Amino acid sequence: MTEKKYVLYANHGSKSKIDFPSFEHFEVITEILKESKIMIVSQLLGTVIQVQKLDSVTNLAKEIFLLVYKPIKPFAITQSYEETVEFLKRL
């Protein structure tokens, strides 16, 4: 039996503003990802987060996250459906 492969896709579809994540949020996310390393290596193809606006605040959050966690699989933050589809095609 072949293991299924997955893509983690998050889309900020709401018009509400999202608060800038605290460092504690980054730590919790990083810990969960580290605990899930075996599944990430064997089943995850990549992660894409589609935001409403790819601005300086979003880029800062991305850079802080990448300082505390080095993705094992391809990772992208996009701001449109078309960019998301292009990322997925490259996986």
Residue spans per domain, the chain: 6-89
pLDDT per residue over 39-64, tens digit each? Answer: 999 999 999 999 988 889 889 999 99
pLDDT the model gives residue 45? 96
Q: What's this model's pTM, rounded to 2 decimal places?
A: 0.82
- CB-count exposure of residue 2 (10 Å: 0-12, 13-18, 19+): exposed
pLDDT the model gives residue 15? 77
Rounded (10°) CA dihedral 56, 89, 66, 28: 110
